[in-house]
Amino acid sequence: MSVHITSIYAALLGLVFVALEVPIGRLRTATNVSLYDGGNKELAVAIRRHANFVEHVPLALLLMALLELGGAGAGLLNGLGVVLLVARIVHPFGLDYDQMRNPLRGIGAAGTGLVILIASGALIWRFLAH
């Protein structure tokens, strides 16, 4: 079996990963800060945007791949993939050092959480059904 559907979302999310990584390198060079954020708010936000992505996306993709390997339908996988991709694109725009509440942050967090919840539930359901 293969994971063709999950693979395309992994590739697209890989591009988002790089887009979140580039500002960190640029800011580290500009501020001469090698580790952590050196008290620079802009660098701190860039680091958290990237770290939040790294904390959530691998699990979501793993769950999707396991579903796909288990024979889940294209509709479910594409639905999860689109929601995850959109959530992870909008989420960084909602992270701000001085403002906690931002609709994009909420949409991104909720979308990502929903994907993980649905994929986890579907995997448990498949396990119990067999």
What does the pLDDT read at residue 100?
79
Half-sphere exposure of 103 (CA within 13 A, CB side): 0
Q: Within a 10 A sphere around the Cβ of 128, how many other Cβ atoms?
A: 7
Q: What is the chain's mean pLDDT, rounded?
A: 96
Gyration radius of the chain's alpha carbons: 17
CA dist list (Å): 32 to 1, 14, 40, 45, 98: 47, 27, 11, 16, 23
Identify whether the C-beta of residue 40 lies closer than 8 Å to the C-beta of residue 27.
Answer: yes
CATH of the domain at 47: 1.20.120.550
Which positions ≥6 away from 31 have C-beta within 8 Å? 38, 40, 43
pLDDT in tens, 38-86: 999 999 999 999 999 999 999 999 999 999 999 999 999 999 999 999 9
Q: DSSP string of 78-108?
A: HHHHHHHHHHHHHHHHH--SS-S--HHHHHH
Inter-axis angle of helices 4-31 and 74-94, nearest 10: 10
Least confident of 18-32, 39-53, 94-108: 94-108
Supply the range of the domain harboring residue 68: 4-129
| Number of separate domains in the chain | 1
Q: Which residue has the higher pLDDT, 101 or 80?
A: 80
Identify whether the C-beta of residue 9 lies closer than 8 Å to the C-beta of residue 61.
Answer: yes
